[in-house]
Each structure stands twice: as structure tokens, then as C-alpha cells.
């Protein structure tokens, strides 16, 4: 966390219960944590594109909801780091819980052949979200939020490992890439918290172009945004195996999955970082 004594800017005194290691209002008077703010673009723009693709391709609403939930998290995080206001902090942290609940629902419903709704699971996740929200509004303890969020992420990790180990081993590369990128972001998040004083002292001694590379909370945004995006693609891959749609993807500046009904290409898999995770039944 950031040491006390940061400057004030356009948004006035900090009211959030968290203030990260980036120096406040160091880049511009209008944004409290500049790099922690703009790094959220990776959680805003690509998921919007993914949601638009999903609509055009006729995918189920749960995939569209996953993309849009990630976008909402990015927008909330943008507002929080831009202002460091408590209300904006809630706009960041609570959607993290809600979006993870959507991800959990999708992971446990990924083998459905028809567009059905698991009302028991849906009710459980909605109830969990409501309880977390009410408790967090009362106690205002960030550690509580982090533990609840960690429980949801742990559930996703265990479910993902089960799927790539016992059900779809051909998706192991994509699944573990998503997990590895996310965990690398978590490592940077911890470095930013634990070594904040050292990082700030280092930035004072080096040119800004080097110092910005040590904004590890911004790297947390970038890597968790990418990891979450890849996790959605990982779930979309299930639709190939289930015979719902055929699809191929290409590598541009960002991994994308343009869907094509009835596509008969030999390799109908996802190209990611020049690796082809190929569905063996389509070879």
C-alpha cells in the first residue's frame, strides 16, 4: 500500500480504504493514479469486441454476460483509481465478485447441450453475492473482499484443472496459459504491496520511462485482464466440442475468435502466441 502523504488533486482528499503504491497525481492533476487507471483499458475494450462477436455468432447469453462483466470491472476500476473515492472503490470491488460468480456459473454449466438455466446454482451465486455485498458494506474491510474473491477464483482454478485434465486435455495449453498469466498478475500485485517503499525510492532514482515499468498494480490489471479474457475463450472452446458451432481464431494484436458456422478448415482451434490448440476430432 502507499505511504501516507501523497498530494491531492482534482478529486480532493482520498476517501477509499485502499491507496495503492503509485504516487498520487504524479502524472496529471485530473487522475489520482494515472497508470493504474489507463491500464484498465485492457479490461474494457477487448471484452466489448468479444461481446459483439458473440452476439453476431449467436452464442449463448452467458458468454456475452462474461465479456460485459469483465468490461464493467474495468470501468469500475478505472473510476476507482482515477478518483480514490470510497464509492468508486465499491464500483470496482463489488463487480469483481459479481463477474466471478458469472464465470463460476459458466464453468459449471459448460457441458449443457441446450440453452438451459440451472436455477439452483444461479440462486446460490446470487445469494452469495448479496451476502458478500451486505457484509462488505457493513464491515468495510478490504481483506474480507479479497478472501471472498479468492474463494471464487480458487473455485474457477480447480474446475478448470479438472476439465483440462480429465475432459478436454487438448485445451490444456489454453487453460494453463490463462491460469499462468493470471497468477503472474497476482505475483505482481503482491510485489507492489510488499515492496512499495522500495519501489517508490527506486522510481526517484531512475528516468520516468524506466520507473513506469515498476507500476506493478498496473501490470496486475493488464495480466488479470488478459488472463480473464483467455478464460472466456477457454470456455467458448467447449462449444466446439459440444457441436454447437465451429470456429477458428487468428492472432492480431489480441487473441480473438471469429466464429464461422459450418467452417471446414482442417485446424479449427485457437491460435495464440503462435500455438495451435487443435481439436483432435476436427483434424
In sequence order, what are the residues at sequence separation of 6 or more whose Cβ sits closer than 8 angstroms to the Cβ of residue 8? 14, 24, 25
Q: Is residue 263 part of a domain?
A: no
Burial of 70 (0-12, 13-18, 19+ CB in 10 A): buried
Q: Give the model's pLDDT for residue 241.
A: 58
Residue pair 69/98 in contact by the 8 Å Cβ criterion: yes
Q: SS3 of 247, please? A: strand
Q: Which residues are 31's β-sheet partners?
A: 28
Residue pair 80/92 in contact by the 8 Å Cβ criterion: yes
Is 221 labelled as part of a ligand binding site? yes
Q: Is residue 24 part of a domain?
A: no
Residues of the chain with pLDDT under 70: 1-6, 113-115, 239-283
Instruction: Give me the number of domains the chain comprises.
Output: 1
Q: Give the model's pLDDT for residue 116.
A: 78
In whole angstroms, give the CA distance from residue 278 to residue 283.
8
Q: Which residues are 277's β-sheet partners?
A: 270
Q: Is residue 43 part of a domain?
A: yes
Is 81 labelled as part of a ligand binding site? yes
DSSP string, 59-101: --HHHHHHHHHHHHHHHHHHHHHHH--HHHHHHHHHHHHHHHH
Q: Is residue 29 part of a domain?
A: no
Q: Give the model's pLDDT for residue 255.
A: 55
Q: Is residue 236 part of a domain?
A: yes
The C-alpha cell 520516468 sits at 208
Is 278 labelled as part of a ligand binding site? no
In whole angstroms, give the CA distance from residue 65 to residue 175.
20
Is 145 labelled as part of a ligand binding site? no
Is 141 labelled as part of a ligand binding site? no
Is 22 labelled as part of a ligand binding site? yes
Q: Give the model's pLDDT for residue 262.
A: 38
Q: Which residues are 255's β-sheet partners?
A: 251
Q: Is residue 235 part of a domain?
A: yes
Q: Give the model's pLDDT for residue 267.
A: 32
What is the extent of the structural domain holding 170?
34-246
Q: Which residues are 28's β-sheet partners?
A: 31
Q: In 217-254, which positions are buried (b, 16+ CB within 10 angstroms) versus exposed (e)? A: bbbbbbbbbbbbbbbbbbbbbbbbbeebbbbbbeeeee
Is 92 labelled as part of a ligand binding site? no
The answer for 104, left when phi > 0, alpha when psi is -120 to 50, beta otherwise, is: alpha
Q: Is residue 47 part of a domain?
A: yes
Rg (CA), the chain: 20
**CATH code of the domain covering residue 47:** 1.20.1070
- pTM of the predicted model, to two decimals? 0.85
Q: Is residue 23 part of a domain?
A: no
Is 217 labelled as part of a ligand binding site? yes
Amino acid at each position: 500500500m502507499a505511504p501516507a502523504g501523497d498530494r491531492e488533486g482534482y478529486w480532493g482528499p482520498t476517501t477509499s480504504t485502499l491507496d495503492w503504491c503509485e504516487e498520487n497525481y504524479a502524472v496529471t492533476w485530473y487522475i489520482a493514479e494515472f497508470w493504474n487507471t489507463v491500464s484498465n483499458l485492457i479490461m474494457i475494450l477487448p471484452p466489448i469486441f468479444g461481446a459483439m462477436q458473440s452476439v453476431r455468432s449467436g452464442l449463448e447469453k452467458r458468454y456475452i454476460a462474461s465479456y460485459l462483466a469483465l468490461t464493467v470491472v474495468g470501468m469500475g476500476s478505472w473510476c476507482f483509481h482515477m478518483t480514490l473515492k470510497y464509492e468508486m472503490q465499491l464500483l470496482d470491488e463489488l463487480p469483481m465478485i459479481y463477474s466471478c460468480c458469472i464465470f463460476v456459473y459458466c464453468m459449471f454449466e459448460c457441458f449443457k447441450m441446450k440453452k438451459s438455466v440451472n436455477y439452483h446454482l444461479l440462486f446460490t451465486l446470487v445469494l452469495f453475492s448479496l451476502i458478500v455485498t451486505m457484509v462488505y458494506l457493513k464491515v468495510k474491510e478490504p481483506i474480507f473482499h479479497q478472501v471472498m474473491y479468492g474463494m471464487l477464483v480458487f473455485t474457477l482454478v480447480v474446475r478448470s484443472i479438472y476439465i483440462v485434465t480429465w475432459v478436454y486435455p487438448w485445451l490444456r495449453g489454453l487453460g494453463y496459459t490463462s491460469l499462468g498469466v493470471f497468477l503472474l498478475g497476482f505475483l505482481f500485485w503482491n510485489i507492489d504491496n510488499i515492496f512499495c517503499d522500495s519501489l517508490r525510492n527506486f522510481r526517484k532514482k531512475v528516468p520516468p520511462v524506466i520507473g513506469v515499468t515498476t507500476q506493478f498494480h498496473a501490470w496486475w490489471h493488464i495480466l488479470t485482464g488478459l488472463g480473464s479474457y483467455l478464460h472466456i475463450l477457454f470456455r467458448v472452446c467447449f462449444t466446439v466440442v459440444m457441436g454447437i458451432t465451429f470456429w477458428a481464431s487468428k492472432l492480431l494484436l489480441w487473441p480473438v475468435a471469429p466464429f464461422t458456422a459450418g467452417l471446414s478448415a482442417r485446424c479449427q482451434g485457437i491460435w495464440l502466441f503462435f500455438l495451435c490448440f487443435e481439436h483432435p476430432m476436427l483434424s
